[in-house]
Amino acid sequence: MTPADPRAAESLLAFWAEAGVDAMLLDVAVDRIEAGKIVPPRPPERKAAAPTSAVRKPGLAPDVASAVIEARRLAAEARDLDALKAAISGFDGCPLKFEGARQAVFSRGAADAPLLVIGEGPGAEEDARGEPFVGKAGQLLDKMFAAAGLTDRVFITNTVFWRPPGNRTPTPQEQAVCQPFLERAIELVAPKMLLLVGAPSAKSMLKRDEGILSLRGRWFEWRSESGELELPAMPTLHPAFLLRQPAAKKKAWSDLLTLTERLDRPERGG
């Protein structure tokens, strides 16, 4: 492997992206002190917006907030997983639906699974087949589950249900719009714990900013938006990352063994 090998550069960039690096230094130094002396022009005053009866989630744009409210309504009306899948398919509030995705990709696995697995979002293979984690990364994940004795004990889904263009990382706004459906899935499946696969999933579910190499293998308490649901959750490395960095498989396998041990631990009596 030489410095000119584009595969080496791609692998290195993927490693830093998975580790949480999202910025780089500029080629030319910037004098921040001098730049701070420049007073920007004062923007024109805007008229106050008309009050709305809808309760918006802080930090969300009005259209996103409205979509979240609608998603909550539809999710609450779904009495089983089939109804929830239909509600997701008919939902038009996520812009990813209109950016080239073929169909909604909801879930696969056991409806009463003790372990609920949450990935990032569907890729090309998943978009074509309508199920999450069915490409090469999903096949590796299934092999890991089989080796850990978790086959038929998992329910697999994602933070968003439509393929992002070019397999890019879904935005926090896109994840927020899909979150009510995801939380309703967790309610219906009623798992014992969550496995958060990859940085976008872990950051979205746990509301944390650390990279996945810092978060992985640690236990956290996930809490639903309403505060009514709490579950232990463990982040781990995404299998797509493991395909690019095979040496990291030991870390992911260690995470899975730790999770399985807790999953199979006898429950204490009252």
Domain CATH for 123: 3.40.470.10
- The reply to whether 241 falls in a domain is yes
Whole domain around residue 127: which residue ranges?
59-263
Number of domains in the chain: 1
Neighbours of 79 (CB within 10 A): 9
Confidence (pTM) = 0.78
CB 118 within 8 A of CB 233: no
Is 90 domain-assigned? Answer: yes
DSSP code for 36:
H
Alpha-carbon distance of 57 to 66, in angstroms, equals: 9
The SS3 assignment for 19 reads coil
38 domain residue, yes or no: no
Tell me whether residue 132 is in a domain: yes
Rounded to a whole number of angstroms, the CA Rg of the chain reads: 21
Residues in Cβ contact with 92 at an 8 Å cutoff, skipping those fewer than 6 apart: 98
Within a domain: 41: no
Encode the chain (270 residues) as per-residue pLDDT tens digits. Answer: 455 566 666 666 666 666 666 555 555 555 656 655 555 566 555 554 444 334 445 555 558 999 999 999 999 999 999 999 999 999 999 999 999 999 999 999 999 999 999 999 999 999 999 999 999 999 999 999 999 999 999 999 999 999 999 999 999 999 999 999 999 999 999 999 999 999 999 999 999 999 999 999 999 999 999 899 999 999 999 999 999 999 999 999 999 999 999 999 987 654
Whether residue 200 lies inside any domain: the answer is yes
Q: Would 119 be classed as within a structural domain?
A: yes
Q: Is residue 243 part of a domain?
A: yes
